[in-house]
Amino acid sequence: MHAAGMTVVAAAKALRLSKAQVYRRINAGVLAAELVSVDGKERYLVDPNSVTRYRDGTPDRPPAAELVRVPEAARILGLSPEQVRKLIRRGRLTAVRSTAVGDKEDEDENRRGRLWVTRRSMEAFVAGAGVRSA
């Protein structure tokens, strides 16, 4: 992607989401975006094609190699699995359900899929940045 991307505000408006929801989808790899420097400030530019695919119901998905289960994330980060889940609930780590990584849909729609943490959010957390939010 190049500088012709959409701002997070424009993507949020096009998708009828909040800025925070757009940031979460970027960090989860569901929306493709590039972090660029604009007037000395870092900003995300969202790929317009990614926005279109998301709006049409075919969002980008993070590759399975970019995801780890909660127990493995806990081991890597030196935390307990419950601490990792707490960081996910607080928005400091980004996670997706198993149906988002290519697993077969469960026949029982009420059954929750397995939770996977994105390596990108773990790297940001370790670097002290956490997950960007509005």
Does residue 83 share a domain with residue 50? no
Residues 75 and 37 in one domain: no
Residue-number span of the structural domain to which 31 is assigned = 6-55
Asked if 84 and 117 count as a contact pair (C-beta separation under 8 A), the reply is: yes
Q: Specify if 47 maps to a domain.
A: yes
Q: Which of 130, 134, 122, 120 is nearest to 30 (CA)?
A: 120
Of residues 62 and 48, the one with the higher pLDDT is 48
Within a domain: 14: yes
H/E stretch holding 9 reads: helix 8-15
Domain end (from 15, 33, 55): 55
Domain count, the chain: 2
Give the model's pLDDT for residue 2.
46
| pLDDT, position 120 | 84
pTM of this structure = 0.49
Q: How confident is the model at residue 132 (pLDDT cuts 50, 70, 90)?
A: very low
Dmax (CA) for the chain in angstroms is: 50
- Residue 123 to residue 54: CA distance in whole angstroms: 25
Same domain flag for 70 and 39: no
Tens digit of pLDDT for each residue in 54-93? 888 776 666 777 888 999 999 999 999 999 999 988 878 8
Tell me the CATH number at 120: 1.10.1660
Do residues 68 and 120 share a domain?
yes
% residues pLDDT > 70 (the chain): 75
72 lies in some domain: yes
**Looking at residues 22-34, what average pLDDT do you find?**
84
State the chain's mean pLDDT as an integer. 78
Q: Does 34 reside within a domain? A: yes
Q: Has residue 122 been placed in a domain? A: yes
Buried b / exposed e over 32-61, threshold 16 CB at 10 Å, is: bbeeeeeeeeeebbbbbebbebbeeeebbb
Compare 108 and 56 and report the one with higher pLDDT.
56
User: Is residue 87 within 8 Å of 81, Cβ to Cβ?
Assistant: no
Residue 68 is encoded by which pair of tokens?
């780890």
